[in-house]
């Protein structure tokens, strides 16, 4: 009997239009009515994780920023956080800028950028709970976008790192040149102070060493007296692999990377086919 289901967001809980479908939401609610708790484990901002969990009525502490932050599902308040070390973040900026790539940093619901541009100014809007009957505009979602701020730093990013008291929980390194991105990944990994996860073809995330969705989920489960065999987890990308390998039931989405499918115990439908709902009914509620 499973006591907990942990869901990645992008590519898993959310369909390609970044929505929780009616079928998926109903299956989650049926699972909770059956006594199983449900949570989110995501690389997204805490506010985005909380908003989506609230929309589905989830009832277990949440995981954001790849495991660097855990938060209350009811209030959205932080339980615990493990930020990057300031000296490591400073060296990270030097290496990334030296390679001609871009980096920004995530605080608690704050995105710190070198300067505002078309990409980062839309970040809050990209984190809202999308409604099918509402166009994706700032005006329509201003109550949600107000929870996430994009802040340009003063002077340089190096100066910001040295002078800020803000905890920085994650960095994202972005580059259109795949060779440069690969070299940076290898170099930063060799330092031994970071946890790196590929999150797309042109970017990867950087957390402090030892930070992962699995580690955060394991800690929450320990606090709730839930053992790994009682946990099901679903995901689709590199930052889900350790969580799926640790869980009693690791579920790969049909749209998942091949390496995710290889380590998962089962493969469900894609996120465009309500794969989460399919997995809930087939493996957790035991309905065909």
Task: Tell me the pLDDT tens digit for each residue of 147-190.
Answer: 999 999 989 999 999 999 999 999 999 999 999 999 999 999 99
pTM: 0.96
Which two three-digit tokens encode residue 115?
């300067």
Nearest alpha-carbon partner for 266 in 239, 288, 237, 244:
244
pLDDT band at 36 (very low <50, low <70, confident <90, very high): very high
The CATH number of the domain holding residue 94 is: 3.30.1240.10
Report pLDDT for 222.
97
Q: Is residue 131 part of a domain?
A: no
Q: Is residue 70 part of a domain?
A: yes
Least confident stretch, 116-120, 153-157, 282-286? 116-120
Residue 58 has pLDDT above 60, yes or no: yes
What digits encode the pLDDT tens for the residues 8-30? 999 999 999 999 999 999 999 99
In a shared domain, residues 204 and 215: no
Residue 231: domain span: 4-81+211-284
Q: Report CA dihedral (131, 134, 137, 141) to the nearest 10 degrees.
A: -60
Stretch 53-71: mean pLDDT, rounded? 97
Q: Is residue 139 part of a domain?
A: no
Domain count, the chain: 2
pLDDT band at 118 (very low <50, low <70, confident <90, very high): confident
Which two three-digit tokens encode residue 13?
């809980």
In a shared domain, residues 31 and 169: no
Better-scored residue on pLDDT, 287 or 279: 279
Number of separate helices (H) and strands (E) present in the chain: 11, 14
Half-sphere exposure at residue 164, Cβ-oriented, CA atoms within 13 angstroms? 26
Distance CA 254, CA 279 (A): 11
Instruction: Say if CB 171 and CB 88 are below 8 A apart.
Output: no
In a shared domain, residues 108 and 182: yes
Q: Is residue 246 part of a domain?
A: yes
Domain end, chosen from 208, 232, 254, is at 208
In a shared domain, residues 201 and 254: no
In a shared domain, residues 98 and 178: yes
Residue 99 has pLDDT above 80, yes or no: yes
Report pLDDT for 234.
98
The CB density around residue 139, as the number of other CB atoms within 10 Å, is 8
Q: Is residue 170 part of a domain?
A: yes
Residue 124 has pLDDT above 70, yes or no: yes
Report pLDDT for 286.
79
Least confident stretch, 63-72, 181-190, 196-205, 242-251? 196-205
Domain end, chosen from 163, 185, 208, is at 208
Instruction: Say if CB 211 and CB 243 are below 8 A apart.
Output: no
In a shared domain, residues 193 and 263: no
Q: Is residue 123 part of a domain?
A: no
In a shared domain, residues 75 and 32: yes
In a shared domain, residues 188 and 236: no
The residues, any chain, with a CB within 8 Å of residue 145's CB and separated by 6 or more, are: 124, 125, 127, 128, 138
Which two three-digit tokens encode residue 99?
């390679």
pLDDT band at 287 (very low <50, low <70, confident <90, very high): low
Q: Is residue 133 part of a domain?
A: no
Q: Is residue 136 part of a domain?
A: no
Report pLDDT for 200.
81
In a shared domain, residues 93 and 41: no
In a shared domain, residues 90 and 198: yes
In a shared domain, residues 162 and 275: no
In a shared domain, residues 175 and 242: no
> How buried is residue 223: exposed, middle or buried, by Cβ count under 10 Å (0-12/13-18/19+)?
exposed
Domain end, chosen from 144, 173, 208, is at 208
Residue 288 has pLDDT above 80, yes or no: no
Q: Tell me how far apart the terminal alpha carbons of the chain are, to the nearest angstrom.
A: 17
Q: How confident is the prediction for the chain on average, in pLDDT?
A: 96
The CATH number of the domain holding residue 251 is: 3.40.50.1000
């Amino acid at each position: 009997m499973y006591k907990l289901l942990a869901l990645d967001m992008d590519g898993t809980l959310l369909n390609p239009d970044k929505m929780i479908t009616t079928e998926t939401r109903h299956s989650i609610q049926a699972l909770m009515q059956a006594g199983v708790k449900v949570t989110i484990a995501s690389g997204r901002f805490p506010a985005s994780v909380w908003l989506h969990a609230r929309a589905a009525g989830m009832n277990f502490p949440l995981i954001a920023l790849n495991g660097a932050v855990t938060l209350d599902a009811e209030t959205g308040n932080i339980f615990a956080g493990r930020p990057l070390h300031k000296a490591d973040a400073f060296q990270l900026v030097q290496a990334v800028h030296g390679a001609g790539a871009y980096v920004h940093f995530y605080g608690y619901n704050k995105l710190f950028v070198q300067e505002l541009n078309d990409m980062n100014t839309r970040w809050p809007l990209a984190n809202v709970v999308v409604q099918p009957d509402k166009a994706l505009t700032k005006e329509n979602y201003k109550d949600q976008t107000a929870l996430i701020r994009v802040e340009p730093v003063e002077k340089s990013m190096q100066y910001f790192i040295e002078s800020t008291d803000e905890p920085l929980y994650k960095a994202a390194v972005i580059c259109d040149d795949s060779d440069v991105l690969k070299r940076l990944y290898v170099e930063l990994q060799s330092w031994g102070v970071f946890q790196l996860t590929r999150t797309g073809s042109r970017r990867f995330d950087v957390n402090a060493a030892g930070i992962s969705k699995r580690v955060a989920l394991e800690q929450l489960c320990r606090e709730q007296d839930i053992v790994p065999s009682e946990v099901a987890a679903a995901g689709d990308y590199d930052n889900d692999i350790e969580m799926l390998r640790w869980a009693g039931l690791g579920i790969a989405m049909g749209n998942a990377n091949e390496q995710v499918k290889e380590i998962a115990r089962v493969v469900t439908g894609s996120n465009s086919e309500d794969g989460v709902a399919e997995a809930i009914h087939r493996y957790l509620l035991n309905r065909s």
